[in-house]
Structure 1
Amino acid sequence: MIQRSAQAMFKLSDEQLQQLLHELQQRTGITVETPRWLLEEYLGERSAELGMSSVQGYLDSLKDDLGSRAEWLALVDLLTVKETRFFRQPAAFQQVRQEVCTRAQADTIGPEFSVWSVGCSTGEELYSLGMVVEHALRDSGCATNWHGIGTDVSFGAVARAKIGRYPERSINDIPLAYRSRYIRCEDKDQYWVCDRIFNRISFFHSNLMHVENAPFAKFDIVFCQNVLIYFDRITRLHVIDQLLTRTRAGGLLVLGAGEDIGWHTDQAERISQDGVTTYRKLGGFENG
């Protein structure tokens, strides 16, 4: 990290700030709410790492050509990797468990069951979903196969998610019933997601702003929590429409609290449950 005395060189003018935020929004759809001083600190550190003496020099390096693409990816990683943890929204995971158990008992689950973690960050959310689904299926005596997909705009986050290894402080958030079955300690302060979960999960880089172009089939559960708040209203509503399109008939679309404000549809009904914003897609159950 550069010294504070040097950081004084890296101040954004109003014009430079607007230029950067506009370019970032155009490329990712994300509206950055990082405080100006912190954004300047990030850019100062990044500029220093690249041997540049000014923020303007760094901004000029982001011109739209092949050589700038890697740096845009690095900048997106710097600004968009958000705090995440296992079982971050307990009520939402409990609803997923209830859904799997109910459908297994009613024999409406079919031979395959799929989940999508949208904005998966470093993987904790999808691995949590995997544990819940695996646990519920096996406890219900259901032989259904399942698989999970996680997507994120950050290449760095996706790369870390693919490893499936976490420090002890991270796995402490996992309920004991899941931790004892699905987490293994391989060496000091390094814990691994067990193969029963790990081998059924895949992670991909994907820009949510272009979700309609993602080459994915439909899912029984689309789980998108605390992601859409970073998009402007028009983009947010468009993304929710696209997420519902990727949800199977009878499946669940699970959103973060308040992320559906202003969204209306006649293709799904909202499920009433405290602490969770969930829609069930209409049309019966579509198994496949």
Structure 2
Amino acid sequence: MQNTSNIDFSDETFYKIRDLIYQLTGIFYNEQKKYLIETRLSKRLTDLNLTNYEDYFYLLKYSAKQSDEIKELFNSITTNETSFFRDIPQLKVFEDNVLREILEKIKIKEQSANYSKKIRIWSAGCSTGEEPFTLAIIIMEHLSEIPAGFSFEIIGSDISENVLSSARKGIYNSYTLRNTDLKLIEKYFDKIDNEQFQVKSNIKNMVSFYNINLIHSDSIKKLGNFDIIFCRNVIIYFNNDSKKVVISNLYDALKNSAYLFLGHSESLHFISSSFKLVGFGKTPLYIKE
């Protein structure tokens, strides 16, 4: 196995790869992220038996294997820090305010033949699936409040096929469950061993996973429209121009008066004026106007 630590990653090659990543994903890496990109791509050079990063760029740009390697590129560069029940204050707003309001609307409109009987939620940038499965568990805890004939559909999406493959298996270690109540673990997970747990089928069946690039409106349109979108800790990786594209795509994917959750440190300030900002304490929530 070759040692990639001695391979030079020139600024020129970094800019080429950086610009290609931006073109493909909308994610922008400044000069301070050069070492991060070098570290994450070094394994690809080893796996492909390449001796320099310029050849890797050529492979991404011109090779007959271009499309396959771009998928591997996405797998390499994405950040996958996540856990079940991450950011409890936001999830409480979802459970106590948004979900409750939707359930009230259901009760009022359940006699209407024209009212959709499926509530649709999209977890955009879902990584290995902890967020959409968390939402499914919260909804399942309110199952008795959902009128007969109504259902919830949850879509999880990511640009990395590796993390989606892991999400579809639904197997997690104890660390990613560290914020989860033990009663919920016992209720909604099957214990494989002391360190591994698998999501039970009733939760698993509520969630479908798709490979979606958030800057590609055509693939997003195929998902249909949603009552709620979670896109938390995702737009921080985009520059302002890409953020505007992503948020516009999310806006188009929402039904009227539907809800958008961003990360607690993320904002639409200077990005979009198409949403109404609603505050629940320190937890921001956006509503499509």
Give TM class, smaller chain: 0.7 to 0.9
Residue 9 to residue 60, structure 1, CA distance change in 2 (3 Å): farther
Alignment pair present for 1:101 and 2:82: no
The equivalent residue for 1:18 is 15
Contact kept? 1:81, 1:154, Cα under 8 Å: no
Contact kept? 2:82, 2:176, Cα under 8 Å: no
CA distance in 1, matches of 2:165, 2:66: 21
Say which is worse superposed, 38-47 or 24-33, in terms of deviation. Answer: 38-47
Contact kept? 2:277, 2:286, Cα under 8 Å: yes
Q: 1:29 offset after TM fit, Å?
A: 1.0
The equivalent residue for 2:259 is 252
CA distance in 2, matches of 1:274, 1:159: 36
Q: 1:55 offset after TM fit, Å?
A: 2.0
One-letter amino acid matched to 2:208: S
Say which is worse superposed, 48-57 or 105-114, in terms of deviation. Answer: 105-114
Which aligned segments of 4 or more residues in structure 1 are displaced greater than 6 angstroms? none
The equivalent residue for 1:67 is 65
Alignment pair present for 1:219 and 2:226: yes
**Which sections of structure 1, spanning at least 5 residues, go unmatched?**
283-288
- SS in structure 1 of the partner of residue 270 of structure 2: coil
Residue correspondence of structure 1 range 159-238 to structure 2 within 5 A: 159-214=165-220, 215-238=222-245
Contact kept? 1:101, 1:136, Cα under 8 Å: no
Render the CA deviation track for 1:104-152: whole Å, top value 9, x for unaligned.
24525753211100001110011011111221343x3544311100111
Q: 1:159 offset after TM fit, Å?
A: 0.8
In the alignment of these two chains, the number of paired residues is 277
**Which sections of structure 2, spanning at least 5 residues, go unmatched?**
111-116
Contact kept? 2:235, 2:266, Cα under 8 Å: no
- SS in structure 1 of the partner of residue 215 of structure 2: helix
Render the CA deviation track for 1:14-57: whole Å, top value 9, x for unaligned.
11110010011001111136732232233333212221222222
Q: 1:64 offset after TM fit, Å?
A: 3.2
The equivalent residue for 1:120 is 126
- SS in structure 2 of the partner of residue 180 of structure 1: helix
Contact kept? 1:10, 1:43, Cα under 8 Å: no
Residue 250 to residue 42, structure 1, CA distance change in 2 (3 Å): closer
**Over aligned residues, Cα RMSD in angstroms?**
2.2
CA distance in 1, matches of 2:155, 2:35: 36
The equivalent residue for 1:79 is 77
Residue 177 to residue 261, structure 1, CA distance change in 2 (3 Å): farther
| Structure-2-length-normalised TM-score | 0.87
CA distance in 2, matches of 1:42, 1:103: 42
The equivalent residue for 1:275 is 282
One-letter amino acid matched to 2:231: C
Residue 245 to residue 137, structure 1, CA distance change in 2 (3 Å): farther
Alignment pair present for 1:37 and 2:45: no
- SS in structure 1 of the partner of residue 250 of structure 2: helix
CA distance in 1, matches of 2:38, 2:102: 50
The equivalent residue for 2:48 is 50
Aligned match for 2:6, one of 5, 9, 20 = 9
Q: Percent identity?
A: 26
The equivalent residue for 1:150 is 156
